[in-house]
Amino acid sequence: MTGQAGSGKSTFSHALAAKSGLPLIHLDLQFWKPGWVEPSEAEWREKQRRILAGDAWIADGNYKETLDLRLERADTVVVLATPWWRCAGRAFLRGFRMPGQLPEGCEYSAWQRLRDEWRLIPAIWRDRRANEDELAIIAQHGRHVSRHVFKSKRAIREFLDGFDAGHRPAGPPSCGCR
């Protein structure tokens, strides 16, 4: 599962995990070291190799730099191509809510949350064509995966409404799952 900040990755991933019974890996929760310290690229790549070692999973996150690792193990990838203005609006509103879960050893005040989410808005504008970059990576490293792009909430809702955990539908079967 990939897409810009605010594209709806976590919401969709939660719904798909509930319907499929597959374990959900939130990459944001895995990325940060205690105290909001970023791991080195080598550490992050090795950690992802470990957490993606299972037979089946849904990985929620947009770490483009390590998308190749997820593609190695995935049979399907979903890109949420939500319009940039909707992503920015969601980031703005999300700034007023505290996340349900934080990475281990990380603290967050309401002010920090507001600041961090609102800082995403200019980044969303700058990266509004990020899906094109991700699709290029998918084309290069994920020739073996089913690729699906959702461009609307309606398409997502229709897929989830038709999803049957025992049968992979003709549409997008899963999000970065094996």
Share above pLDDT 90 across residues of the chain, in percent, rounded to a whole number: 59
- Let me know: does 86 contact 96? Beta carbons within 8 Å: no
Residue 159 · residue 153 · CB < 8 Å? no
Determine whether 105 is exposed, middle or buried from the number of CB atoms within 10 Å of its CB (0-12, 13-18, 19+). exposed
Plot region of 79 (φ>0 → left; ψ -120 to 50 → alpha; else → beta): beta
pLDDT bin (cut points 50, 70, 90) of residue 166 is low
pLDDT value of residue 126:
87
In the chain, alpha helices (H): 9-20, 27-31, 41-51, 67-73, 84-94, 110-126, 130-141, 153-162
pTM: 0.84
pLDDT at 104: 92
Tell whether the model's pLDDT for residue 73 goes beyond 60. Answer: yes
Domain locations in the chain as residue ranges: 2-84+129-162
What was the pLDDT predicted at 171? 42
pLDDT in tens, 8-33: 999 999 999 999 999 999 999 999 99
Q: How far apart are CA 51 and CA 58, in angstroms?
A: 11
Two tokens at 146? 């089913």
Task: For residue 44, give the nearest of 25, 57, 63, 59 by alpha carbon.
Answer: 63
Residue 78: exposure state from Cβ atoms within 10 A (0-12, 13-18, ≥19): buried
Q: Is 3.40.50.300 the CATH classification of the domain at 2-84+129-162?
A: yes
